[in-house]
Chains A and B, each alone.
Chain A
Amino acid sequence: MASELHAEASPTGSSPWGLALRRLRRNRVALAFGGLFVLIVLFVLAAPLWADHVADTGPNQTHTLEKIEVDGERREVVNVEGKPIGPVWLGGGGKFFLGADGRLGRDEMVRLMYGGRASLFIGFAAALMTTVLATILALLAGYYRGWVDTVISRTLDLIWAFPVLLLGIGLGIALALGGLAIGPVEIPSGSIWITVLIIGGVLVPYMARPLRGQVLSLREKEFVEASVAQGAGPLRVMFGELLPNLSSTIIVFFTLGIANAMLFEAALSFLGVGVQPPDTSWGSMIGDGFNLISSAPLLTILPGTMIFLTVLAVNVFGDGLRDALDPHSKVLLEAHSGMAEPEGTAI
């Protein structure tokens, strides 16, 4: 009812979401990069198709001692000195399109496609986890204030005080070795869910802090008071009144959170404490290829470029999304900001 009245009153006849969509549609750059992101997703989704029908191998299948025919010439996949074959493009009939990945002679193209699945999945799942946790914590802290806020804020401060990469690595080592068992939930060591949990958990304070600030200021607004006066309980106020007002910020944070989580995953996996074999991700591919950087630089640069393009696409699209949803907002969550909120400031 309220929205109908609003629709009649406004000359354009659009809801805020409609307006945002229209603004986004006018932002060609953001849309182009959104398109790039979709292409990357399609690329990694096509992994089994390419593996089964073109390259005819799997991501972990080794071809060390094999020879392949490239443009009518027989070449070793891995030569005597252990140097893998470089990109042969379509010369091998689709096999070893980007060459092999090292001593084991696995198909780099196939691994790049499968590795992207893990990277994107972790980025997406970890960002989702961070966003949900951060939102709930921010709502609780901002709504109840008092000791609830103190407990939540101090806990977040504690995680914050850890050097974030060291914490990630430490948890990575601890959980990758022992696995995780909380009550009925048991995650075996080496599962990529462990990486998701670590990244999703470690990044919570960076999102929860700015959100908490927003909840605290929204909490003082009249509509909250009105809702309480009408008899709304805590849940109703938090999720019915406060949450919708946070939604545009949350959407933007989630988008930019994907970029952050993917960069984090790359760092952890490169150092060997993220995705564990036989799974592979772009980060762990860089780690595998790094030793060969002087002779086969593509093994490092290619997966790195994929991460770069994906993160760039997500960041530019997220930026456009922020402009569209809330042109006046100054929310910023890139790499490590959101930190720009020292304790002395009155929020």
Chain B
Amino acid sequence: MAAFTLRRLGEMVAVLFAVSVLTFLIFNVIPASDPAQSMAGKSATPQLVASITEEWGFDDPLPQQYLTMMGKIFSGDLISYQGQENVVERIVEGIPATFSLCIGAAVIWMFFGILFGYLSAVRAGGLLDKLLTVLAVAGISIPVIWLASVLLYYLAYKTGLFPAQGYVELSEDPVDWAYHLILPWFTVAVTLVGLYSRVLRSNMLDAMNEDYVRTARAKGLGERQVMTRHVLRNSLIPIVTLFGLDFGALIGGSAILTERLFGLDGVGLYAFESIENLDLPPIMAIVLFGAFFVVLFNALVDIAYAYLDPRVKLGSSAR
């Protein structure tokens, strides 16, 4: 187990390194993005551009530039080209909003995903099951942008029931914090509730045909106990897997849309602004930040999986 964990962590570092190199390359082959030019402004003299190039080391060989940038990211004094603010500080500032959004949404989508999946598996073929299936498929197909616009217009702009934009710190006012986040939470959760309830439903239906369920029934357990203790429990393992991956991906950048739509001042919004300005330092840092969470949760899922399901073979023999 320890060896397996170590091996996964080692792989994590390798993948993150590759991700950073790739990101660096993607943004360095853009012809139109000479950072010295954009920093100097539109009416800059060639001398100014040259001196900025010199000062920031844009003339260094690419590997050298890459190393300098990575060094700055880890020492925390990376400066953005546009506005020249501290990138790491900006990301740290955005973390509360992004985490509030993702964690709150995760609670909602897990709760309803499991509840709906359970209900429709227990009542498989019934009216409730059909209704929930329709809702789930609709949920999966909803474009986030559409849902957000409809909610924004009808619940915020037209009726004024909810605030349309902005984020309030949790420490400042917890009620207002939640009030500002309800619509974004709901927006993120809806598509995933559909997916999770359907995955859980199909897993539970499969599990119901297993021998251990027959055994549980044969020894006289009540239907509810069979369902919760045996069927549901075993069917939750893939859900945990899926959750880890989706949550990592959400923090790692899927929240950009929601943050932009609801004006939440998080890492995603910062990412979007930096990309619009072709501001490489923050982009590098944010992609690494995002990839870190994706890779971290991938690894956590593998480890949790091995822990939850002892049948999983560890090590390279798994292939």
Contacts from A to B (Cβ < 8 Å): 157-158, 160-167, 169-171, 173-174, 177-178, 259, 263, 266-267, 270-273, 283, 286, 290, 293-294, 297, 300-301, 304-305, 307-308, 311-312, 315-316, 319, 330, 332, 334-337, 339-340, 342-347
Contacts and interface: CB of A to CB of B under 8 A. Distances in A.
B241 A166 contact: no
B145 A267 contact: yes
B143 A263 contact: yes
Contact of B241 (A158, A283, A342): A342
B252 A166 contact: yes
- Majority secondary structure, B binding face: helix
A334 B194 CA distance: 10
Nearest to B272: A271
- Majority secondary structure, A binding face: helix
B253 A340 contact: no
7 closest A-B pairs (Cβ-Cβ)?
A: A304-B146, A163-B253, A163-B252, A163-B290, A166-B253, A312-B141, A297-B153
A286 B27 CA distance: 27
B149 A301 contact: yes
B145 A158 contact: no
Contacts of B192: 335
B271 A335 contact: no
Interface in B236-291: 238, 241-242, 245-246, 249, 252-254, 256-257, 260-261, 271-272, 275-276, 278, 283, 286-287, 290-291
A169 to B, nearest CB: 5
A91 B76 CA distance: 62
Contacts, number: 187
A165 B257 contact: yes
Interface of B: 4, 15-16, 18-19, 22-23, 26-27, 29-33, 137-138, 140-146, 149-150, 152-153, 157-158, 164, 191-192, 195, 198-199, 202, 206, 238, 241-242, 245-246, 249, 252-254, 256-257, 260-261, 271-272, 275-276, 278, 283, 286-287, 290-291, 293-295, 298, 301-302, 305-306, 312-314, 318-319
Given A161-B295, A301-B153, A340 B242 contact: yes
Contacts of B238: 340
A89 to B, nearest CB: 21
Q: Which of A319, A332, A339 lies at the interface centre, i.e. has the most chain B CB atoms within 10 A of its CB?
A: A339
B137 A336 contact: no
Given A178-B31, A267-B145, 4 more contacts: A161-B298, A171-B26, A267-B143, A305-B146
Given A163-B249, A163-B252, A337-B199, A169 B140 contact: no
A173 B278 contact: yes
Given A174-B27, A346-B312, A165 B242 contact: no
B19 A335 contact: no
Contacts of B191: 335
A108 B47 CA distance: 49
